[in-house]
Structure 1
Amino acid sequence: MPNKLVMIIRHAEKPIPGGPDLGVTEQGESDPASLTVRGWQRAGGLCRFFYEPPLPLGRPASIVASGVIKRDDSGTRSKRPSQTITPLARRLGLEPDVTHSKGQEQSAADAVRTAQTPVLVSWQHESIPALTAALVGGTGIAPQSWPDDDFDSIWVLEADEANVWSFSRERQALLDGDDTGQLTSGAASGQQRNGSF
C-alpha cells in the first residue's frame, strides 16, 4: 500500500444554463446550486463504488470536499462538491472536511496531506489541476485541465515512502453514458518528489 493514496473526483452533474435539467436539493426542491437528478444518481453510485472500490483505489478513511463559499469569488455558492460525497460519508460514518473552497487549493492540499489515507477529494473540475499541483509540489505530474463534460474520471495520486508521487486515472463507469474504456497511466502518468510531505 502506498504511503499516501489520494483519489480526486469532480463533483457530480450540475445544471447547464438554459438546459432542461434543474438542480435539486436532497429533498427534491429546486436549487440551481445543487446537483441535477443525474448528479444525485451518481452520488448514490459513488456510495456503493467507494465502499468496496477496485484496485488501485481504496475505501476512503477521510473525505475532503470544496466548501460552499468560494474564496475566489467565482460563480455561485455551489453545494455540489459536498452533495456528491454526502451519501458515501454517511455510509462510512465520516465527517467530511469542507473548511476549504475553490480558491484555497493550497490550504486544501495541506489538509489532504495530513488527512488519514486513503483520502477522497470532491472538487470543482477547473481547480483540480491547481489542487493536484499544490499537493504534489508542481505541475509536471498530472494533466493541466479537466474536460468540462467529464464527470466520470478519478485522478489517483500515490506517494511512496520517499515522497515520490505517481499519477494515474481511473473511471467510475457508474451511469449510462459514462466512458467504460480502460485507462492506463500512459502519457498522463508521472512522478514527482515532494519534500514537504
Structure 2
Amino acid sequence: MQGTSPAQPQSIMIIRHAEKPAGTIQGNNLYGAIDKHSLTPMGWQRAGALCVLFAAQGAPVRQGVVTPTAIFASGVEHDSTKSLRPEETVVPVAALLNGVAESSFLPGPPPSSLVVPLNGGYTLGNERDLVKAVLALTGNVLIAWQHQNIPAITQQIIQQAQVSNPDDIPSQWPDGRFDMVFVFTRSSAGYTFAQVPQLLLPGDSSKPFPA
C-alpha cells in the first residue's frame, strides 16, 4: 500500500455498465440496431440519466458524486469480451461534457482531442494497469466496468493508494444491481470509500451493497 501523492485524483468514481440483454430483452446499439453486445433500451435510458449525476451544473446532485475530468471504460478485446456496454454507458456523459455528438464515439475509438477524454484502452482483466493510469491523473475520474471485475479495481486502489476504510468496500457487485456509484474521495488521510445510490430510474434502490 502506498500513500497518496499530489498527482492522484481528488475523486475516483466507479459504476457498472447499464442494463444488459436478458431473456427476451434485446440489446440495441447507438443507432437502434439489435446488438447482443450493447445496452438494452432501459440501459440507454440509464446512460442518458447519468448525465444528471455527472454533468450537472452547480452543486452535486448526490453527495460525493462530481463531474469527471477524465473517463475510463473497459474496451473491446475480441478474444475475451466484445461488450460495448461500458463505453456506451458513459458516451452520453462524455458527449455532453465535450459538446460533441454521441456518434463521435461509437463505433470506433473516441476522438483524441477532448476536454474530458474517454479512454477505452484498458480491457477486462487489465485492472492493475487501469488503476495505475488513473492514479497518475489529477481531478475527478469516472470508470465504467463489468461488475464481476469491479472488485479487482477496488483491490488495486487499496494496494496502490491509501484507503482509510477498506473494510467498508463490498467484495462483490450484486448481479442484479446497476444503480450504484462507488466513490473514493481523497482527503489528508488518503481515500475514503462510500456507496452512493444513483436513484435515476424506477426501481433503483437506495440499499447499499453488503461489505
Please state which band the TM-score falls in when normalised by the shorter chain. 0.7 to 0.9
Residue number in structure 1 paired with 2:152: 130
Report the equivalent of 2:53.
49
TM-score normalised over the length of structure 1: 0.83
The equivalent residue for 1:195 is none
The higher relative CO (CA closer than 8 Å, separation ≥ 6) is in 2
State the distance in 1 between where 2:125 and 2:192 align: 24
Map 1:63-74 to 2 at 5 A.
63-69=71-77, 73-74=79-80
Q: Cα RMSD over matched residues?
A: 2.1
Residue 148 (structure 1) aligned to one of 175, 194, 197: 175
Percent sequence identity is: 39
* Preserved CA contact (<8 Å) 1:141 1:166: no
Name 2:88's counterpart in structure 1: 83
1:108 to 130, 137, 162: 130
* Displacement of 1:165: 2.1
2:193 corresponds to 1:171: no
- Please state how far the C-alpha of 1:115 moved relative to its aligned partner: 2.6
Deviation of the 1:95 alpha carbon: 2.5
Q: Unpaired runs of 5+ in structure 1? A: 189-197
User: Is 1:97 aligned to 2:119, yes or no?
Assistant: yes
State the Cα distance separating 1:160 from its structure 2 match: 2.3
Kindly tell me the number of residue pairs found equivalent between the two proteins: 178
State the SS of the aligned residue for 2:118. Answer: coil
- Return 5+ residue gaps in structure 2 as ranges: 1-7, 99-115, 161-165
**1:176 maps to amino acid:** P
